Amino acid sequence: MGSEHDFDALEASRYEARSSSDPISILSIRGVSRRFASARGDTLALTATDLEVAENDFITILGPSGCGKSTLLRIVAGLDQPTSGEILLDGKRITGPGADRGMVFQSYTLFPWLDVLDNVCFGLRERSVARKHQLEVAHGFIRKVGLSGFEHHYPKQLSGGMQQRTAIARALANNPRLLLMDEPFGALDHQTRELMQELLLGIWESEKKTVLFVTHDIDEAVFMANRVVVMTARPGRIKLDRAVTLPHPRHYSVKTTPAFAALKADLTDQVREEVLATQAAQGQVATAGSV
């Protein structure tokens, strides 16, 4: 490929921004918190959180339900605003969503009126890339996610796994600085999910992308990441940030190695503690409510 790298203006502006900031970190999350106001009172979903993401990191974020991991990802995407703190991408403050941060959602978000090819072209067309070039890029990514021959299928004609593969191709076709994934395989069956993990890992190894990946599947988190971040029960904050040094390219058989098992056992304990804390907090609320 390589053809997707010549959106000159965009690349140039990114390069300038990068040169003026930390050379290693491309994304800086600084003191980001989020409070949701509701009739019953405010809920602090996320306490002031800091995280530095380096070029080519694959960070998986683990945590119990409601710990604010999806909220954090949505704030990075610009789909939600932090109550305090700021996020810098290549030294520039994030104020809203943009093509430099591609996102894959847990729900199937392909545009049902567009076929696979035009879904993948969506972002390119938005930037008025010539149609010939759009098709070149789109076909390349459709091949990478293994959907050649399905270019003219509508989303409803595809299985869940195929829809998510298309969504990954659609996000990658934009050549984003950062790929944000919010439990993208959460709705898939176990076998499909494992294949998708290998597919994504293979793409990450070859494309040199930077990925933030939210999940509650510890296997998935360890298998794909070079860093696993565990968050605490609500109000969420980062509890630990662990490097995963399993060698690349990773084959699915790595899941049966002792190193993998040890890391998984440790993280399972860490996450379990938070899940129990969440349940205890909910129990308290329930008891208080029944009195």
Partner 1 sequence: MAPLKAVTPGARIALGVAFFVLFVAAWAVATLGGFVSKTFLADPITMLKSGWVLLTEMGFAHDIGMTVWRVLGGFAIAAALALPLGVAMGAYKPIEAFFEPFVSFARYLPASAFIPLLILWAGIGEAQKLAVIFIGSFFQLVLMIAVAVGNTRRDLVEAAYTLGASDRSLVTRVLIPGAAPEIAEILRMVLGWAWTYVIVAELIGASSGIGHMITDSQALLATDQIIFGIIVIGVIGLLSDYLFKAVNRRLFPWAQLGK
3-state secondary structure of 41: coil
Q: How far is the CB of 155 from partner 1 (least distance, A)?
A: 8
x/- track of binding to partner 1 for residues 19-58 (CB under 8 A): ----------------------------------------
Q: Which of 106/226 has CB closer to partner 1?
A: 106
**CB 76 → partner 1: shortest distance, Å?**
10
Residue 116 and residue 193 in contact, taking contact as beta carbons nearer than 8 Å: no
**Is residue 204 helix, strand or coil?**
helix
All residues at 6 or more sequence positions from 53 whose CB lies less than 8 Å from its CB, including other chains = 25, 26, 27, 28, 29, 59, 178, 210, 212
Lay out the sheet containing 25-36: strands in order across: 43-54, 25-36, 84-89, 92-93
Task: In whole angstroms, give the CA distance from residue 105 to residue 187.
Answer: 10
- How would you classify residue 91: left for phi > 0, otherwise alpha for psi between -120 and 50, otherwise beta? left
Interface mask (CB under 8 A) for partner 1, residues 174-203, using x and -? Answer: x-----x-----------------------
Which of 29, 145, 171, 218 forms a contact with partner 1 (CB under 8 A)? 171
Count of residues that bind partner 1 according to CB under 8 A = 29
Binding mask 96-115 for partner 1 (x = CB under 8 A): xxxx-xxx-x-x-x-xxxx-
12: helix, coil or strand?
Answer: helix
Contact between 213 and partner 1 (CB under 8 A)?
no
- Chain contacts with partner 1 (rule: CB under 8 A): 77-79, 96-99, 101-103, 105, 107, 109, 111-114, 122-123, 126-127, 154, 156-157, 167, 170-171, 174, 180
